[in-house]
Amino acid sequence: MFQDSLTRTYDAIVVGSGATGGWAAKRLSEAGLSVALLEAGRSVSPKEFTEHMPEFHLKYRNVSLDWLKSRPVQKQCYACMEYNYDWFVDDLQNPYSTPPDKPFTWQRLRILGGRTLVWGRQSYRMSDLDFKAASHDGYGSDWPFSYKDLAPYYDQVEDYVGISGAAESNDALPDGHFLPPMKMTCGELHLRERVQKQFGRTVTIGRTAILTKNHNGRAACHYCGPCERGCSTFSYFSSPFTTVKDAVNTGKCTVITNAVVARVDMDAGTNRATGVTFVDAITRQTKGVRGKTVVLCAQAMESTRILLNSSTREHSAGLGNSSGLLGRGLMDHSTGAGADGELPGFDTKPAPYSGPHRANGIYVIRFRNLEKGPQHPRFIRGYGFQGSAIPEFNFHAQGYGLSFKQAVKSGIYGISLGAFGESLARDDNFVSIDPELKDAWGIPALHISMTHGDNEKALHEDAAETAAEMLEAAGAKNVRIQSTVAEPGMAIHELGTARMGADPKKSVTGPFCQLHDVQNIFAMDGACWVSSGCQNPTLTMMAITVRACDHLIERFRRGEV
């Protein structure tokens, strides 16, 4: 059966099974196209989910990952732990290089569904403040479409995925189709009221891809907390049990796991892709699969790596690189700035075994450099905050028995805000192929060169100050601020490197994610992004994919593929 899947010619080959790859497979197969969905990792079963497993069942009690010598990069990820570390890549098998003075942390999974198994699930729309940012402040380029063009696809994705949240009628963060919002704590409601009254800024509950009521055959969240360890009720969105499942159920989609794609294959005579070559992750055998179109959804840098490694005599610098911009303009949201403190006057105690463990926080909508109003003199674009106000345990408590239990619960009522800032697209932030380094399957590895610049630094200095002033306005005490910018990659929001645009001399992909240079290759993941905004990108990635797939389906119907 597997061999048969490699001898036929598919209408579309989709590389990557995460947020965008799952949507591409679903959309194309439901339209009647035959699809091969390639995933570099193995399949995953709900039987291995551990969201309800106590730590004493683990060999190392989840105390440290220092013993994971093969994952020195991955253990930097908040979601990588003893419960699930084998979902993450082995860094020794999957190397990359950076300049000595430009560290970059590339946190990634190779498993069916990719990072949708562990993502933070924050889901925000972008607006024309983002899509047309260049027209607003003169930096970079506008996207080749507007919010109005993407809005119907946001609607479709939200209606399917299930996004809980609250409408706020704020132009900087368009409202969507929401399930009922999760409840804010008393401290968070207090912060919202004070911040609105004193500054006119909006604090809202996070908009998250977690169900607050039964939806599309999936159960509402039962608030157990550790979503990064899987969800037996599928209450948060992950592609294997939603979009990929739907694609397979059409009978038109074949999933090929352990397929490490090395390159896209080309027919020089027609300048068209004919399929992809991959290495079997288990046997190390080189194999191929043929298709009329190739849709790259492997993750921004991974998709670009495939294109760079697919050079031919006609495309000597990589597929889609006639502009010289393939690999350029790497972005990752800047993080690190914010403030935290203690909120007096709230007597609520933390509840270790009862009550909701809300896997969500609050969000402060961007208020700097809006379309109308003053512009900051030191930086362009803006930032949003994620945070919380909750009672915390006193883990330094002393004693035994009842007195110890009471002491543990006598911790502070903590309040914090952490910034996510826009990362400007700069051509000196780039990925290229390392001339010497290869992965365990013999495929040339990436060289990643990125820094956060002066704009990000100034933005975060301001974010630290505004975070502190908002906490103080709420009456917080012992406020501590942090204004430094974290190492690139820590947001885990890699974007750009195959930017879209109408002009082939200034972009790599067109308005529907197709390469200007090769019309049957598409980059439908974060690679096509022009600018980053400051919002978490996954919802917008999925909407872009659905829009691009509908365009591709129409091309098939017109006989243009």
Domains along the sequence of the chain with CATH:
2-557 (3.50.50.60)
- For 41, the 3-state DSSP assignment is coil
pLDDT of residue 444: 98
As a three-state string, the secondary structure of 439-507 is CCCCCEEEEEECCCCHHHHHHHHHHHHHHHHHHHHCCCEEEEEECCCCCCCCCCCCECCCCECCCCCCC
Of residues 15, 470, 5, 25, the one with CA closest to residue 243 = 25
462's CB contacts (< 8 A; 6+ apart) are 368, 376, 378, 379, 383
pLDDT of residue 356: 58
Rounded Cα gap, residues 321 and 498, in angstroms: 9
* DSSP letter, residue 219: P
Rounded Cα gap, residues 205 and 388, in angstroms: 9
Rounded Cα gap, residues 113 and 483, in angstroms: 34
257's CB contacts (< 8 A; 6+ apart) are 39, 41, 42, 43, 112
**Assigned token pair, 364:** 């402060």
pLDDT of residue 497: 98
| CA 499 to chain centroid | 17
**Assigned token pair, 365:** 């909508």
Residue stretches of the chain with pLDDT short of 70: 1-4, 67, 351-356
pTM: predicted TM-score of the whole model, two decimal places: 0.97
| CA 428 to chain centroid | 22
Length of the chain: 561
Rounded Cα gap, residues 142 and 289, in angstroms: 36
Rounded Cα gap, residues 532 and 366, in angstroms: 14
pLDDT of residue 2: 54
pLDDT of residue 1: 44
